[in-house]
Amino acid sequence: MGDVEHAFHVFLAHLRAIAWLPVGYALVCQSLKVAARSRAWRNILAAAYPGTRVRWRSIFGADAAAAGINAIVPVRGGDVLRFYLVKRRVDGATYATLGASLLVESIVDIVMSALLLAWALQQHVLPGVNVLHRLPSIDWFWLFRHPRIALIVIGVVLVVALVAGLWAAARIAAFRRRVAQGFTVLRTPRRYFRTVVPWQIADWAFRIATVFFFLRAFHVHADVRNALRVQVSSSLSTIVPLTPAGIGTEQALAVYVLAGQASRGTLLSLSVGMKAILSAFNVVLGLSAIGLMLRTLHWRRVVEREEALEHT
């Protein structure tokens, strides 16, 4: 993580030069992004549980809490908390249905990411294979540099998958019904395109707007093209989140895709500074949501205690 530490020191050196008003605008856009995304998920769940009241504020709180935990815990550990919080607030909710609902939510994300990636490839924005190994802190290759740990990780994943498969097989009929329940909104395409897709498009619009304002804050030329370039690096950094919030990969890619737009020091400051500010904001928002919803910040203890009670 030496390259990340160097970039962070560069960010601190540029701290006085940051324009904080655009940072404020960026954080407003980040809040609206979480709101739009949670609204889309709320509508997916409302279709899955038509006889249950699904409060948007509960879904917003769960999404905010997950974003806060994911900012400091690798491999998206906050998603466990997200499911737990929603299961507590939505009567009759099951983890199978909640998991399936996130697959529905991912449809627009996959389409948008594919379009963005296609644009990046067409514009020759991304580095070629011959360049990747020279970029600092690309955490995708961490497992390849540690083959023994990679084998252990793969083995654990296979064991967990086998146990999960055996557990599901014993309850296959009920499991299928619960999974299918999560896809309910897709059975009425008009409802899906009216109540889910617009909110997810808004989510992506606010993502781009957030990047745009950070570009202005760090005095890098701000336009839609550069904002899309940074968003590509952000999206790719979360494909394999081996580090909290994808830090390292995004820092390396952002410097590459914006090469020539500003000095290397400014680009390093932008990449690490944007991630640091957003992560801190997400943590504060997430901890606030956890405190309000659980009346404690020790969420792991609450989850473990209630899971133990369910198995007794």
Express as a percent the part of the chain with pLDDT over 70.
72
| Alpha carbon distance 69, 48 (integer Å) | 26
Mean pLDDT of the 222-237 span:
85
The whole-angstrom separation of Cα 259 and Cα 267 is 8
CA nearest to 230, candidates 253, 248, 247, 259: 253
Q: Using the predicted structure, report yes or no on whether residue 58 has a pLDDT greater than 70.
A: yes
- The model's pLDDT over 95-140, given as tens digits with 9 standing for 90+, comes to 889 989 988 999 999 899 888 888 887 887 766 544 444 555 444 4
The rounded Cα 130 to chain-centroid distance in angstroms is 28
User: Which of the pair, 308 or 133, is modelled with greater confidence?
Assistant: 308
pLDDT of residue 138: 46
pLDDT at 113: 87
Q: Mind listing the pLDDT tens digit for each residue in 146-195?
A: 556 656 766 777 777 766 666 655 556 677 788 889 999 999 999 999 99
Residue 210's pLDDT band (boundaries 50, 70, 90)? very high
For residues 75 and 240, what is the distance between their CA atoms, to the nearest angstrom? Answer: 8
| pLDDT confidence tier of residue 75, bands split at 50, 70 and 90 | low
Residue 239 pLDDT more than 80? no
Q: Decide: 234 and 75 in contact? Cβ < 8 Å.
A: no
pLDDT score recorded for residue 79: 82
pLDDT at 74 over 70: no
**Strand, helix or coil for residue 297:** coil
**Based on the structure, what is the number of domains in the chain?**
1
Q: Output the pTM of the full model.
A: 0.78
Per-residue pLDDT tens digits for 3-29 = 556 556 666 666 777 889 999 999 999
Segments forming the whole domain that contains residue 248:
2-310
Residue 307, pLDDT above cutoff 70: no
- Average pLDDT of the chain, as a whole number: 80
The DSSP H or E segment spanning 211 is helix 197-217
The string of pLDDT tens digits covering residues 79-98 is 888 998 999 899 989 988 99
